[in-house]
Amino acid sequence: MRIEVLNTGSELLLGTRLNTHGQWMGQELFKLGLRIQRLVTVPDGDAIREALADAVRKADVVLVTGGLGPTSDDITREAAAAVAGIELIEDEAALRSLEAFFAKRGKAMAPDNRKQAQVPVGAEVLPNPNGTAPGIYIPPRLNGAGNCAIFLLPGPPRELYPLWQNEVVPKLRALAGGAAAEGMLQLTLAGVGESDLHQEIDADLARISGLEVGYCARLSEVDVRLIGTPAAIEAGRARVMQSFATHCFSEAGESLESVVVQGLAARGLTLATAESCTGGLIANRLTDVPGASAVLTHGWVTYANAAKASELGVSATDLETHGAVSEEVARQMAEGALRESGADAAISVTGIAGPTGGTDAKPVGTVFIGLARRGGETLVQRQLHVRDRAGFKRSVSQAVLDLIRRELLG
Q: What is the dihedral of CA 18, 72, 153, 29, to 10 degrees?
A: -40
Taking the least distance from each CB to its own copies, the nearer of 95 and 307 is 307
Strand partners, 104: none
CB of 410 to its own copies, least distance (A): 25
CB of 132 to its own copies, least distance (A): 7
Residues in the chain: 410
CB of 120 to its own copies, least distance (A): 22
Taking the least distance from each CB to its own copies, the nearer of 18 and 180 is 18
Distance CA 399, CA 220 (A): 8
CB of 100 to its own copies, least distance (A): 11
Q: How wide is the angle at C-alpha 63 spanned by C-alphas 61 and 68, nearest 5°?
A: 140
The CB-based long-range contact list for 164-169 (8 Å cut-off, 24+ gap) reads: 164/28, 166/127, 167/126, 167/127, 167/135, 167/137, 168/63, 168/126, 168/135, 169/28, 169/32
Taking the least distance from each CB to its own copies, the nearer of 86 and 347 is 347
Taking the least distance from each CB to its own copies, the nearer of 143 and 188 is 188
CB of 375 to its own copies, least distance (A): 20
Distance CA 284, CA 228 (A): 37
Burial of 96: CB neighbours in 10 Å, binned 0-12, 13-18, 19+ = exposed
> In what helix (H) or strand (E) does residue 260 lie, and over which residues does it extend?
helix 256-266
CB of 86 to its own copies, least distance (A): 25
Taking the least distance from each CB to its own copies, the nearer of 235 and 272 is 272
Taking the least distance from each CB to its own copies, the nearer of 142 and 383 is 383
Q: What is the dihedral of CA 245, 246, 252, 255, to 10 degrees?
A: -160
